Amino acid sequence: MATKKTASTAKKKTTAKAKSAPVAKKTTTTVKTVSASSRAAKKFNFSRSPLLAASVAEFIGTFIFAAVVLAVSGQPLFILFGLAAVVLAIGAMSGAHVNPLLTVGAWATKRISGVRAVSYLVAQVLGALMALVVMNAFVNAAPEVSSQAAQFGQTAPELFKAAEIPEGKQWVVLSAELLGAVVFSFVVASALRMKERGAAALAVGGGLYVALLLAGSAASYVGANAVVNPAVASALQAVKWDLWPIMVYVLAPLVGGVLGFALNDLVTKESEAKY
């Protein structure tokens, strides 16, 4: 009797194994399908390339900011709110540099890598040039001023651009750009330590407002403009293939950006030191 029961139990186990075999095969097939779809998702997912996404954000942010500068004719107060809005919009994506002097300063103080810095610089210059092309197209699309309207002093709309650097006053404008870049980058380096995004955005916008007031006032005494942004300077048609425009609107802000970040790091370390 025991022998028959044992044989019956063995037969049931064999039947159970036979039935479970196709199920296991089906499960394996399902796993392979999920794995294939997962590989496809990795291939086409934009978030898998964070540097590309951040660079696109820098392109868009610089385009918006440069367009704002052109639209408001460089008025510092409007630029403050424009930059604050850009920082709030793309700050979480790329840090919202939208300015080569900040990118170079962050790279020199080892806040970002060299690859990211180069990618940001290219995106910023292209974004500013795109703003120039788009805004210039809108201005050119404006209707011509009639002779009757011209008699009343109405003129055709023109795109805002930086004034020419006066002869013999190049060092004054260069010093103004350098001062503005140091002030702005110093404030931005401090804002990077803020945890509240809204406060950081206002700090960055306020820093540029103060920098433009100081640098703009100094440059205006000799009939020039302060830009404190090499990318936007290209949109304002201030950068030309000449020695002084490159030194004033490109090299001076970049050097000022490095000095501002380095000065902020030095002051922060000294303030945090324990005696």
What one-character-per-residue DSSP string does 152-174 give? Answer: TT--------PPPPPTT-HHHHH
d(CA 95, CA 114): 15
* pLDDT for 103 beyond 70: yes
Average pLDDT over every residue of 35-62:
72
Does this model's pTM top 0.85? My answer is no
Listed in sequence order, the residues at least 6 apart from 43 whose beta carbon sits closer than 8 Å to its beta carbon are none
Confidence bin at 144 (pLDDT 50/70/90): confident
Nearest C-alpha neighbor of 87 from the set 236, 253, 242, 205: 205
Average pLDDT over every residue of 244-253:
96
Looking at the chain, the whole-number percentage of residues with pLDDT higher than 90 is 67
Average pLDDT over every residue of 46-50:
65
Residue ranges and CATH numbers for the domains of the chain are 49-270 (1.20.1080.10)
Per-residue pLDDT at 42 = 53
Per-residue pLDDT at 151 = 64
Confidence bin at 37 (pLDDT 50/70/90): very low
* pLDDT for 149 beyond 90: no
Per-residue pLDDT at 31 = 45
d(CA 188, CA 205): 9
Average pLDDT over every residue of 133-137:
95
Average pLDDT over every residue of 208-217:
95
Helices (H), the chain: 2-44, 50-71, 76-94, 100-108, 114-140, 147-151, 170-191, 197-220, 230-235, 243-246, 252-272
- Which region among 105-119, 149-163, 217-231, 252-266 has the lowest average model confidence (pLDDT)? 149-163
Distance of CA 46 to the CA centre of its chain: 18
d(CA 65, CA 248): 21
Per-residue pLDDT at 150 = 67
Residue carrying the six token digits 């974004």: 127
- Burial code (b: 16+ CB inside 10 Å, e: under 16) for 19-51 equals eeeeeeeeeeeeeeeeeeeeeeeeeeeeeeeee
Q: Report the 10 Å Cβ neighbour count for 77.
A: 12
The more confident residue out of 101 and 44 is 101
Per-residue pLDDT at 39 = 53
Confidence bin at 49 (pLDDT 50/70/90): confident
d(CA 84, CA 131): 18
Per-residue pLDDT at 256 = 97
Average pLDDT over every residue of 231-247:
94
Mean pLDDT taken over the chain: 84
Per-residue pLDDT at 237 = 93
Confidence bin at 164 (pLDDT 50/70/90): very high
* pLDDT for 161 beyond 70: yes
SS3 22: helix
Confidence bin at 211 (pLDDT 50/70/90): very high
